[in-house]
Amino acid sequence: MANKYVAITDMTLRDGMHSVSHQFTPDEMMRVAAALEAAGVDNVEACHGDGLAGASYNYGFPAASDEEYLTAVSGVLHRSKLAVLLIPGIGTQEDLKMAREHNAQVVRVATHCTEADVSEQHIGLARQLGMQTVGFLMMAHMLEPEGLVKQAKLMESYGAEVVYITDSAGALLPEGVRARVGALRSALKCDVGFHAHNNLGVAVSNTLVAIEEGAAVVDACLCGFGAGAGNCQLEVLVAVLKKLGYQTGVDMYKAMDAAEDVARPLLRRPPLIDRAALSLGYAGVYSSFLLHAFRASERFGVDVRDILMELGRLKIVGGQEDMIVDVAVELAKRMGKLPA
């Protein structure tokens, strides 16, 4: 739709943290954020890959604290808004207050797609704090459109100004996105957003379908940084939307420069649709499980694909990272690599 405005949230400094095992330094975050600001991106999300207070043995320890990251990023943002992710049960209301004190203007309150009810307190507090408040329904491929509408309506009733279809596993194909985003757009008064992973190679096309169905805000990362095979690639998305006549407020050349000159040199592991990432999308497994699954594969001598396929069969979701080792051990026993 020519001239329609689509807002973009860049997550290089949050979901992209998974690509570097959460090891961005505050200085690196500051340089990336400054480049995104110069390019004109609406929102820049920055914190641990698993959200505020994600630092733990379960999720991984970052190179710096949330406070240090937020201080570094907020200092270079003037037009772009600083966003954070908060998963109830990991992040607390105190963490949200801290983020607001460090100039975060947007919070995405994320729950599993069937557990929107746990977001009520955090969404309510965010509105009280004057933050733009987003509901984030993760692993949305695991619930049919009708069920997602019920969960989204809960978030909307709590005060969410945007509710996202979040394809955390990169498992959705375009028609699945069309059905889910379209259902929310028809049922909600608030805006609808979409978050893609590229595990099946359709992150950009899925994002375009979401926009066609009425998504007003979408997510992307420079160079496709992100968990699994990465997220929708920002500079590619901006070019495609420009070619189609959409307005994003993002300077295409500056987005390209931010990707190649600033972000790419920071890549420890390039986002690839390799056999493991492809297995994530095929099996419908949480994208941030990838590095954990690689470690379990090496430790117990089990094919990482077998681990991921079994996690998918068991319908393991975010927060159950400890099950990755359990699954690897059980597979190793079946193969005779460990005593039964």
| Contact yes or no for 268/19 (Cβ under 8 A) | yes
Calculate mean pLDDT across residues 279-305.
91
Whole-number Å distance between alpha carbons of 75 and 77:
6
Confidence at residue 331, expressed as pLDDT on a 0 to 100 scale: 93
Q: Write down the domain spans for the chain.
A: 7-266, 275-334
pTM, to two decimals: 0.93
pLDDT of 81-113, one tens digit each? 999 999 999 999 999 999 999 999 999 999 999
**Rounded Cα distance, 140 and 108, in Å:** 15
Share the mean pLDDT of the chain. Answer: 95
- CA end-to-end span of the chain: 60
Q: Is the pLDDT of residue 340 over 80?
A: no
Q: Residue by residue, what is the 3-state secondary structure of the chain?
A: CCCCECEEEEEEECHHHHHHCCCCCHHHHHHHHHHHHHHCCCEEEECCCCCCCCCECCCECCCCCHHHHHHHHHCCCCCCEEEEEECECCECHHHHHHHHHCCCCEEEEEEECCCHHHHHHHHHHHHHCCCEEEEEEECHHHCCHHHHHHHHHHHHHHCCCEEEEECCCCCCCHHHHHHHHHHHHHHCCCEEEEECECCCCCHHHHHHHHHHCCCCEEEEEHHHCCCCCCECEHHHHHHHHHHHCCECCCCHHHHHHHHHHHHHHHCCCCCCCCHHHHHHHHHCCCHHHHHHHHHHHHHHCCCHHHHHHHHHHCCCCCCCCHHHHHHHHHHHHHCCCCCC
Q: What is the pLDDT of residue 338?
A: 84
- Topology (CATH) of 275-334: Helicase, Ruva Protein; domain 3 (1.10.8)
Fold of 7-266: TIM Barrel (3.20.20)
pLDDT at 213 over 60: yes
Instruction: Dump pLDDT digits (tens) for 149-200.
Output: 999 999 999 999 999 999 999 999 999 999 999 999 999 999 999 999 999 9
Residues 279, 305 contacting (CB under 8 angstroms): yes
Looking at residue 2, what is its pLDDT?
Answer: 56
pLDDT at 175: 98
Q: Give the Å distances, CA to CA, from 333 to 214, 255, 293, 308, 311.
A: 49, 49, 17, 16, 16
| Total number of residues shown for the chain | 340
Mean pLDDT for 4-14 is 97
What are the residues facing 194 on neighbouring strands? 165, 218
**Could you tell me which residues are beta bridge partners of residue 133?**
107
Please report, as a single letter, which amino acid is at residue 261: D
- Asked if residues 84 and 97 have their Cβ atoms less than 8 Å apart, the reply is no
pLDDT at 60: 84
With a cut of 80, say whether residue 277 has pLDDT above it.
Answer: yes
| 319-339 residue pLDDT tens | 788 899 999 999 999 988 888
> pLDDT band at 257, cuts 50/70/90?
very high
Confidence of residue 139 (pLDDT cuts 50, 70, 90): very high
pLDDT score at 320: 81
Q: Is the pLDDT of residue 1 over 80?
A: no
pLDDT at 282 over 60: yes
pLDDT band at residue 58 under the 50/70/90 scheme: confident
Return the structure tokens found at 165: 């279809």
The tens digit of pLDDT for each residue in 219-235 reads 999 999 999 999 999 99
Q: Which residues are identified as catalytic?
A: 18
